[in-house]
Chain A
Amino acid sequence: MCGLAHYIEEEGLPTTLISLIWEHSEKMRPPRALWVPFDLGRPFGAPNEGVFQKDVLINVLSLLEYDNGPVLEAYPHEAPDGAGQAAEVACPVNFGPPPAEPGSTKELLQSFRAEIQKMRTWHELAEQQTQRSATGVSGLEPEAIGDLFDDFLEGRQPDIEANVQLSDLLRMAAEDIKAFYCEAIAAQPGQPRDVAGLSNWFWGQTAAALVINEMRLRCLESEEKDLLLAGKLLLVPRNQLHRFTNP
């Protein structure tokens, strides 16, 4: 982001940016930057908090009125309550214990498919409430994603379009499933919406997470560099890997 600011400003266009990591902005010295104390992925602090978001935007725009730079300032306010505090999220339905024995991929996939069906009602409610969904990047419905993951984990060649890389499709489908689950749970009354709570719920309490981790392990066994990259970096977040590795 700081690099883009340098290039665009050099072309004669004034820039101002939000910084999520002070140290990076300090090192790269963009013309104008407002550091904010928010989670990665939430540069305007909290969803559906229009007044707060507008204040962040006004503050970052105000840096344009400095005569000299570089300018690096800190936004003085924390995100509104609930946006960044860790909290436990109760599992919305009883999926039963996910299969834990080695070699039970088929059972795990069955649990995953059942879980999708249980999430479906809540997701439909979420779409009615918000009139939108961030799912669909892969172009597949959740049930079709179940088929894709099943094919991949059972060693069958998934039926995909010729211009699509399997590694890209697996990655996008995994993100679609996460979006489907998180949008579904957001429709439930009383559920926290903080970053850590949602992430810990998905990666710690769902069969979907176990399936995605199985795919990560299969990708790591692959000799194809794109699948290897997906397995190393693009399927499970670094801060959740501890759940799937031996101490």
Chain B
Amino acid sequence: MVRLAQFDEEERNHLLNLPCPVFDTTPFVRGAVVSKARVAIISTAGLHRREDRPFVPGETGYRLIPGDVAANDLVMSHISTNFDRTGFQMDVNMVLPLDRLNELADDGEIGSVARYHYSFMGATDPTQMEDEARQLAAIMKKDGVDAVVLVPV
């Protein structure tokens, strides 16, 4: 397990001093009832299908991941070398828990699983992703999505 206090001083200071955008207010939309929600996942792990264009430094866009993607078709081209990738190598659900989401749908704990899921690459300044994120929200709404789980690495 990991907490900031457990990193060595240099790494802790690096993480603490990472520039974070400041938001004056927090938007808050009343959430759907979870047992009826249609759920999509957005990862920032730099995931994509093998045939897709890899992520490169400064990338602000996202890659689309079909809900029925085969585990062996997913790769990770995030540019950072400072987080663990071995968990993903052993089990895709470590960063994109589609199997777990499908199980929750089968058990009736959520309404359904979205047709598509998405990945950005988290090394980019989030303010540079604003346009893409807003456009993506509109697309997800057309897919009937009413709850989004965001997953970092």
Q: Tell me, yes or no, whether A90 is within 8 Å of chain B by CB.
A: no
Q: How many residues of A contact B (CB 8 A)?
A: 93
Is A69 within 8 A of B3, CB to CB? no
Is B86 within 8 A of A65, CB to CB? no
Q: Tell me, yes or no, whether A31 is within 8 Å of chain B by CB.
A: yes
Is B133 within 8 A of A41, CB to CB? no
Instruction: From the candidates B18, B50, B94, B129, name the one contacting A43 in the complex (CB within 8 A).
Output: B94
Is A7 within 8 A of B134, CB to CB? yes
Is A48 within 8 A of B91, CB to CB? yes
Residue of A nearest to B77 (CB): A137
Closest beta carbon of chain A to B7's beta carbon, Å: 8
Is A1 within 8 A of B97, CB to CB? no
Is A179 within 8 A of B85, CB to CB? yes
Instruction: From the candidates B11, B21, B146, name the one contacting A28 in the complex (CB within 8 A).
Output: B21
User: Could you count the A-B residue pairs with CB atoms below 8 Å apart for me: how many are there?
Assistant: 282
Q: Tell me, yes or no, whether A159 is within 8 Å of chain B by CB.
A: no
Instruction: From the candidates A1, A4, A199, name the one contacting B84 in the complex (CB within 8 A).
Output: A199
Instruction: Given A48-B91, A57-B101, A238-B11, answer yes or no on A14-B56 (Cβ-Cβ < 8 Å).
Output: no
Is A198 within 8 A of B86, CB to CB? yes
Cβ contacts under 8 Å, A150 to chain B: none
Instruction: From the candidates B99, B109, B120, name the one contacting A4 in the complex (CB within 8 A).
Output: B120
Instruction: From the candidates A21, A134, A236, A237, name the one contacting B89 in the complex (CB within 8 A).
Output: A134
Cβ contacts under 8 Å, A64 to chain B: 31-32, 34, 37, 147
Contact size range, B:
35 or more
Interchain CA distance A48-B56 in the complex, whole Å: 29
Instruction: From the candidates A7, A19, A131, A235, name the one contacting B130 in the complex (CB within 8 A).
Output: A7
Is B84 within 8 A of A40, CB to CB? yes
Is A58 within 8 A of B104, CB to CB? yes
Residue of B nearest to A27 (CB): B20
Is A50 within 8 A of B31, CB to CB? no
Is B20 within 8 A of A24, CB to CB? yes
- 28 A-B residue pairs with Cβ-Cβ distance under 8 Å, sorted by A, are A1-B151, A3-B130, A6-B27, A7-B129, A9-B26, A9-B28, A9-B29, A12-B141, A14-B31, A14-B32, A20-B152, A23-B15, A37-B3, A38-B2, A41-B85, A50-B99, A54-B104, A61-B39, A61-B104, A67-B30, A171-B79, A186-B86, A193-B86, A195-B87, A234-B80, A238-B14, A239-B11, A239-B82
Which A-B residue pairs are the 9 nearest by beta carbons?
A3-B126, A41-B84, A64-B31, A11-B137, A47-B91, A41-B83, A132-B72, A17-B150, A47-B90
